[in-house]
C-alpha cells in the first residue's frame, strides 16, 4: 500500500492560479504554475514558501508540468524559476512552448509598463525561463529519471493543450489541465487511453452545467451580434488571443459571407498575425476539417476581419471588435469597455468563464456601476450577454472522461466549491469511487493498494505444472504450488528456476552432502527413529511444513534458513532436504544442535 498526496497551491475550490503539488512513490511533481487574474497583490502567484521555506525549490520538486499556455496555468512560471529559484526540468508541448512567452510578455507589459507594478518578472527572465523547458510530443513516454515517467495526451481546449499521465513504479496519476470533450471548428476532442490510473485530477469549471447544443449557441450568438449592429450599435467580444477567438472568428467570417454584411469586424492589432502563424505551424494539432481543407484554403486567413487600432474606439457607426484579454481585467478590452459601456445601443458578449474579482465577473453578476482602481465609476448601460463558448468540458464531458479513463479515485480542482460538492456526489453515486476536493493549502491523502504482477518463466511452468506421471491427469480444482527463485527487476517480479537465478545474479550454487555412521542410543524401528526426527524438526522449525511420506521419509518444505555462527563470521545457509535413511536423523540432530555434539 502506498499513499498519493495532493495539495493545491491554487485552483483548490477556485478557478485561477492553477498549481497542484502531487507526491507519489517518493517523487514530488508540480502540475501547472499559473497566476490569478482577480488579484494584483501577493495572492496573484502561488505561495511557494509552502514548498520550501529555506533553500531552493529545485531540491524539493522533481519536475514541473505545464498543461497549456493560458496565464492561469503558466503565468507564474518565470517568477518561480527566476525570482524564487527553480532550476529543474519544466515539461510542456511544442505549441505551448512557442505561445507561452508571447502571452507572458504581453501580460508583463500591461502589468509593469502601464500599471507601474514592481517585483514582477522581466523580459529577460521570460527568455531564461523558457530555456529550461523540455518539449514533449503526444503519446511520447518521457523518462524524467530512473523511476518517474510522464506521457502527454490531446486535450482539445486550446492549441497545444495536453493531459498528462504521471507514473512512478505501479502508482499513476492523470492530470487533465483544461480539456474539452466536444470537437469544434478548429480543435478536436480530448482523448486518453483507458489507463485506469490510481487518481484522476480533473478540472471542474462547469461542474453543474450541461450546455445546450453547439449549433443552438452559435445561432443565438450570430442573431444577437447581427441584431446589435443592424441598430447601429457596437459589439465588444473580450477574448484571449488564441483559442475561442479563432473559433468565433471562423463563425463570424462564414456568417458575414453568407449574409453579405459590410459592417467592419476587428481583431486586436498584431495578435491575429501571430495566431495565424502558430495555427499554420502546428496544423496537426487542429481539427480534422481544418487539416483537410488547409491546402486549398487556410481558414485562419480572414477577409472580413481586420486589425484594430486604438483610434477606432471613437469611430461612429456599428462594428464588432475582438479584444484581449478575455475577462475585462486589463488591456485593450477593458479600455474599450470603459468607453462603450454607457451607451445602451452597444453590447458586450462574454464568451467564456470569468474569474471572481475581474470586471467581467462583476458585470455578469449584474453590477451596473463599476468602480475602477483610479476611483473612476463606469455606468454600464450597454447590454451584457453571456454565451458559453468556453472550451472546457461540461458536467457531461467530465463524467464521460471518468467513464472512459476508469480511475480508482477522482480529485476535483479548477472549480467553485459549491458546484464541486454536487459533482463529487454524482461521481461517487455513479462510479462508486472516492472523490476529493481539497481547498488551497489542504492536503488530500489517497490510499492506494497495488497487485504486483509476477512473470513466470516458461521452463518453470512446464516442469512443475506437467504431472510427473504421464498417466496422471492435471486437477484444475486444486492449486499447484510453484517452487522457484523470486527476482525483483525494477517494479517487476519474476519467478525463475533457481539455477537460472544463480547464473543471472553471478552467484555460485553449492550443494551440501553428508553421511554419518552413528549407532542410535536405543534400538528401535524405522518408525521410532522417524518419529524422533519428526518431533525434533517440529520443535526446531515450528513455522515450517514438516510431513511424513508413505515411504517413511520426512519432507521439510519449503526451505529453511539455518543460521550458523562461527568464531569469525555468521552466515545464513539455505537448506532443504528430505529424510530417506534412519541414521540421518542423528546427523540432523547434530547439525541442528552443534553444542550437544
Please give the positions annotated as active site: 203
Q: Is the preceding omega at residue 325 within 30 degrees of 0, hence cis?
A: yes
CB atoms closer than 10 angstroms to residue 94 = 17
With 0-12 / 13-18 / 19 or more C-beta atoms within 10 angstroms meaning exposed / middle / buried, residue 469 is exposed
Rounded (10°) CA dihedral 298, 304, 307, 312:
-170
Please tell me the distance from the alpha carbon of residue 225 to that of residue 320, in angstroms, as a whole number: 8
Please tell me the distance from the alpha carbon of residue 255 to that of residue 41, in angstroms, as a whole number: 43
For 256-286, b/e burial (b = at least 16 CB within 10 A) is: beeeebebbbbbbeebbebbbebbeebeebb
Please tell me the distance from the alpha carbon of residue 340 to that of residue 204, in angstroms, as a whole number: 33
Q: Pairing between strand 63-65 and 27-31?
A: parallel
DSSP per-residue codes, 473-491: PP-TTS------EEEEETT
Q: Is the preceding omega at residue 429 within 30 degrees of 0, hence cis?
A: no
Q: List Cα–Cα distances, 360 to 37, 55, 379, in angstroms.
A: 11, 39, 14
Phi/psi for 376 (5° steps) reads: -70, 135
CB atoms closer than 10 angstroms to residue 42 = 8
Please tell me the distance from the alpha carbon of residue 148 to that of residue 26, in angstroms, as a whole number: 10
Angle between helices 214-230 and 244-259 (to 10 degrees): 60
Please tell me the distance from the alpha carbon of residue 235 to that of residue 269, in angstroms, as a whole number: 17
With 0-12 / 13-18 / 19 or more C-beta atoms within 10 angstroms meaning exposed / middle / buried, residue 457 is middle
Q: Is 347 left (phi over 0), alpha (psi -120 to 50) or beta?
A: beta
CB atoms closer than 10 angstroms to residue 175 = 27
Please tell me the distance from the alpha carbon of residue 238 to that of residue 450, in angstroms, as a whole number: 48
Please tell me the distance from the alpha carbon of residue 154 to that of residue 159, in angstroms, as a whole number: 10
Q: Pairing between strand 234-238 and 347-350?
A: parallel
Question: Would you call 370 helix, strand, or coil by DSSP?
Answer: strand
Question: Would you call 594 helix, strand, or coil by DSSP?
Answer: helix
Distance of CA 195 to the CA centre of its chain: 12
Closest CA to 175 of 357, 29, 344, 340: 29
Phi/psi for 261 (5° steps) reads: -85, 145
Contact 433, 409 (CB under 8 A): yes
Please tell me the distance from the alpha carbon of residue 345 to that of residue 366, in angstroms, as a whole number: 18
Cell of 151: 506521457
Q: What is the DSSP letter of 426?
A: H
Amino acid at each position: 500500500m502506498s499513499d498519493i498526496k495532493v495539495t493545491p497551491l491554487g485552483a483548490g475550490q477556485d478557478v485561477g492560479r492553477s498549481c497542484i503539488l502531487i507526491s507519489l512513490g517518493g517523487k514530488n511533481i508540480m502540475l501547472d504554475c499559473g497566476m490569478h487574474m482577480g488579484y494584483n497583490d501577493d495572492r496573484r502567484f502561488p505561495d511557494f514558501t509552502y514548498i520550501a521555506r529555506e533553500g531552493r525549490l529545485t531540491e524539493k520538486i522533481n519536475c514541473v508540468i505545464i498543461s497549456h499556455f493560458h496565464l492561469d496555468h503558466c503565468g507564474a512560471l518565470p517568477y518561480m524559476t527566476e525570482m524564487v529559484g527553480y532550476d529543474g526540468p519544466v515539461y510542456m508541448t511544442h505549441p505551448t512552448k512557442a505561445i507561452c512567452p508571447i502571452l507572458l510578455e504581453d501580460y508583463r507589459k500591461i502589468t509593469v509598463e502601464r500599471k507601474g507594478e514592481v517585483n514582477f518578472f522581466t523580459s529577460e527572465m521570460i527568455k531564461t525561463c523558457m530555456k529550461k523547458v523540455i518539449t514533449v510530443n503526444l503519446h511520447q513516454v518521457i523518462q524524467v529519471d530512473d523511476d518517474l515517467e510522464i506521457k502527454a495526451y490531446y486535450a482539445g481546449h486550446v492549441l497545444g493543450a495536453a493531459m498528462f499521465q504521471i507514473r512512478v513504479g505501479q502508482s499513476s496519476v492523470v492530470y487533465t489541465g483544461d480539456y474539452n470533450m466536444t470537437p469544434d471548428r478548429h480543435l478536436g476532442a480530448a482523448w486518453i487511453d483507458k489507463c485506469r490510473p490510481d487518481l484522476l485530477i480533473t478540472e471542474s469549471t462547469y461542474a453543474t452545467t450541461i450546455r445546450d447544443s453547439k449549433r443552438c449557441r452559435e445561432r443565438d450568438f450570430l442573431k444577437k451580434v447581427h441584431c446589435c449592429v443592424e441598430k447601429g450599435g457596437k459589439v465588444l467580444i473580450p477574448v484571449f488571443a488564441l483559442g475561442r477567438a479563432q473559433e468565433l472568428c471562423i463563425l463570424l467570417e462564414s456568417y458575414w459571407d453568407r449574409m453579405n454584411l459590410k459592417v467592419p469586424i476587428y481583431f486586436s492589432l498584431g495578435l491575429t498575425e501571430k495566431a495565424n502563424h502558430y495555427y499554420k505551424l502546428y496544423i496537426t494539432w487542429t481539427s480534422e476539417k481544418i487539416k483537410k481543407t488547409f491546402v486549398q484554403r487556410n481558414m485562419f486567413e480572414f477577409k472580413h476581419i481586420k486589425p484594430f487600432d486604438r483610434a477606432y474606439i471613437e469611430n461612429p457607426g456599428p462594428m464588432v471588435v475582438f479584444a484581449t484579454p478575455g475577462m475585462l481585467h486589463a488591456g485593450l478590452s477593458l479600455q474599450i469597455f470603459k468607453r462603450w459601456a454607457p451607451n445602451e445601443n452597444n453590447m458586450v458578449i462574454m464568451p467564456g468563464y470569468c474569474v471572481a474579482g475581474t470586471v467581467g465577473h462583476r458585470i455578469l453578476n449584474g453590477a451596473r456601476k463599476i468602480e475602477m482602481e483610479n476611483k473612476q465609476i463606469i455606468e454600464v448601460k450597454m447590454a451584457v450577454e453571456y454565451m458559453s463558448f468556453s472550451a472546457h468540458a461540461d458536467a457531461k464531458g467530465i463524467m464521460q472522461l471518468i467513464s472512459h479513463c476508469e480511475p480508482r479515485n477522482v480529485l476535483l480542482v479548477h472549480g467553485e466549491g459549491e458546484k464541486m460538492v454536487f459533482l463529487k456526489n454524482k461521481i461517487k453515486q455513479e462510479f462508486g469511487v472516492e472523490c476529493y476536493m481539497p481547498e488551497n493549502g489542504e492536503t488530500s491523502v489517497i490510499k492506494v493498494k497495488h497487485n504486483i504482477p509476477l512473470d513466470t518463466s516458461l521452463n518453470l511452468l512446464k516442469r512443475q505444472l506437467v504431472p510427473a506421471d504421464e498417466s496422471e491427469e492435471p486437477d484444475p480444482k486444486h492449486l499447484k504450488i510453484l517452487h522457484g527463485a523470486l527476482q525483483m527487476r525494477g517494479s517487476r517480479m519474476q519467478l525463475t528456476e533457481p539455477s537460472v537465478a544463480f547464473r543471472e545474479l553471478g552467484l555460485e550454487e553449492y550443494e551440501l552432502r553428508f553421511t554419518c555412521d552413528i549407532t542410535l542410543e536405543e534400538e528401535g524401528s524405522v518408525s521410532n527413529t522417524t518419529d524422533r526426527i519428526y518431533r525434533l524438526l517440529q520443535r526446531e522449525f515450528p513455522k515450517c511444513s514438516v510431513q511424513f511420506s508413505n515411504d517413511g521419509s520426512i519432507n521439510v518444505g519449503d526451505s529453511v534458513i539455518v543460521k550458523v555462527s562461527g568464531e569469525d563470521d555468521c552466515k545464513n545457509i539455505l537448506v532443504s532436504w528430505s529424510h530417506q535413511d534412519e541414521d540421518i536423523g542423528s546427523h540432523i540432530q547434530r547439525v541442528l544442535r552443534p553444542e550437544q555434539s
